[in-house]
Amino acid sequence: MRLSELSERSGVSTATIKYYLREGLLQPGRRVSATQAEYDDTHLRRLRLVRALIQLGKVPVATAREVIAAAEDESLDHHLRLGAATWALPTGPEPDEDDPEAAAAGRTVSALLQHVGWRHDQELGELSPAYRTLVAAVAALRRLGYPCGVAHLLPYARLAGQLAVTDLDLIEEQPTKAGQIEAAVALTVLYEPVLLSLRRLAHSEESARRFTDTDEA
Amino acid sequence: MRLSELSERSGVSTATIKYYLREGLLQPGRRVSATQAEYDDTHLRRLRLVRALIQLGKVPVATAREVIAAAEDESLDHHLRLGAATWALPTGPEPDEDDPEAAAAGRTVSALLQHVGWRHDQELGELSPAYRTLVAAVAALRRLGYPCGVAHLLPYARLAGQLAVTDLDLIEEQPTKAGQIEAAVALTVLYEPVLLSLRRLAHSEESARRFTDTDEA
């Protein structure tokens, strides 16, 4: 297909496609004349991954380039290729190393992961962006005196484990491995507001159930 | 207690406390001399709520003033007072009314809430900020061609329902109604990064379980 059709089918403007070509995020098409190139389904798939990383995930171009290299490296297993893609996504604030609460929060998070048996996450520990964000979030709770011990966090970790099964089922609906990597990035990002807004709606429902005066119900 | 002690015990600087006093977010202390006022535990509790709204929740001052009025209005039942406080918190993007996907997303969200039986949220519907954010998030998924039908969203809604039970249990640990309102604001905000980072850690664990080559495990 020509550039115009690639743009139409991907929903990415021709100007943006040309930018991705210049930045090496999209492999060049097969040249058919001095001014025209021919693109195929591999370009369409790559564009979906690039769009998921840059437009949805807000990943910087240089990082996106590394992620694409890892995602397409067939010597890595599928888990590592998915991980390379999702690790690049921005997370929340980092823990402040000088904060004494960060050290205590780190011990809580480590005990929590041991408790739920997330062997893999424990090994990666401090290297993992999500692990570091979790430590920062628990440190903030500690600093302000809100409940955040292992016993408080455990139900959230268990529910997150169930969410991950649902999420990975959704990702595995994609028929190709490349499609799964792209879906992992897009769905990680796009389902965050779904989850947070459903949580708030559920709060309202649960609060009505517990606290509405019976004579008004 | 004097202003300096109120500052020390609340962790809010004296300059910020004076600003809250000027803006009418904190009730004046009992004047004991031309230059000094005396504060008590009601000021300490109010400061925790103001801090939760403004510093954690990023709620504008004028909105915080309205929230405090509702939170302290004893003619309202506890559910409405909690709702007034958490509805003021910022959510994600709003749906674009001109987007045809927003209308279809609205029908999906409505069918989803009917399916889980969240009667209360259905009645409030479009008025609720979380409802509107959910519609916008589903519209984005539709526009990009990712799975987001009622069948896909249902497991997330069910898990959100379980999360809400855990969250409300945590909020009810606070002994006073005023403390519960303040905790509802703070925990809604502070547990969002906890939940999102646990979800990402759980992804990594679940992906390792499904996709790591057995000879490397």
**Per-residue pLDDT tens digits for B80-134:** 888 888 888 888 788 888 888 999 999 999 999 999 999 877 777 777 889 999 9
Share of chain B above pLDDT 90, in %: 50
**Residue numbers in B near A186 (CB within 8 A):** 144, 146
Euclidean distance between CA atoms A68 and A47, whole angstroms: 11
Q: Which of B78, B172, B211 sits opposite A79 (nearest CB)?
A: B211
Interface contact B195-A193, CB threshold 8 A:
no
- In whole angstroms, what is the distance from residue B11 CA to residue B20 CA? 14
Give the C-alpha distances (Å, rounded to integers) separating A102 from A106, A138, A149, A159. Answer: 6, 8, 13, 24
Distance, in Å, from the CA atom of B123 to the CA atom of B139, rounded to the nearest integer, reads: 21
Q: How many CB pairs under 8 A join A and B?
A: 247
Mean pLDDT of B43-63: 87
pLDDT computed for residue B109 by the predictor:
95
- The whole-number pLDDT of residue A217 equals 41
Determine the Cα–Cα distance for residues A79 and B204; give it in Å rounded to an integer.
Answer: 8
* Sign, Cα dihedral of A13, A14, A18, A21: positive
Q: Residue window 71-130, chain B: list those with CB within 8 Å of chain A.
A: 77-79, 82-83, 86, 91-93, 113, 118-121, 124, 128-130
What integer pLDDT is reported at residue A67 of this predicted model?
Answer: 85
Identify the three-state secondary structure at position B31: strand
Mean pLDDT along residues A169-183: 88
Q: What are the domain boundaries of chain A?
A: 3-87, 100-216
pLDDT digits (tens, 9 = 90+) for B164-215: 999 999 999 988 888 888 889 888 888 999 999 999 999 999 999 998 865 4
pLDDT of residue A126 exceeding 70, the answer is yes
Beta bridge partners of B30: B38
Residue A40 tokens, joined: 């195929």
Q: Quick one: pLDDT at residue B217?
A: 41
B217: tokens are: 């495990």
Using a CB-CB cut-off of 8 Å, the residues of chain A touching B129 are: 200
- Percentage of chain A modeled with pLDDT above 70: 98
- Answer whether B81's CB lies under 8 Å from B182's CB: no
Q: How confident is the model at residue A136 (pLDDT cuts 50, 70, 90)?
A: very high
Please give, rounded to a whole number of angstroms, the shortest distance from the CA of A38 to a CA of chain B: 24
Which of A134, A167, A216 lies at the smallest CB-CB distance from B197?
A134
Q: Which residues partner with B37 through β-bridges?
A: B31
Average pLDDT over residues A75-102: 84
Average pLDDT, chain B: 89
* Residues A190 and B137 sit within 8 Å (Cβ to Cβ): yes
For residue A195, the chain B residues in CB contact (below 8 A) are 156, 160, 195-196, 199
Query: With an 8 Å Cβ cutoff, are A92 and B173 in contact?
Result: no
User: Is A9 an interface residue toward B (CB < 8 Å)?
Assistant: no
Domain A3-87 has CATH 1.10.486.10: no
Query: Which of B200, B210, B213, B214 has the most A C-beta neighbours within 10 Å, making it the best mutation to test the interface with A?
Result: B200
Mean pLDDT of A43-55: 87
Q: With 60 as the cut, is the pLDDT of residue A14 above it?
A: yes
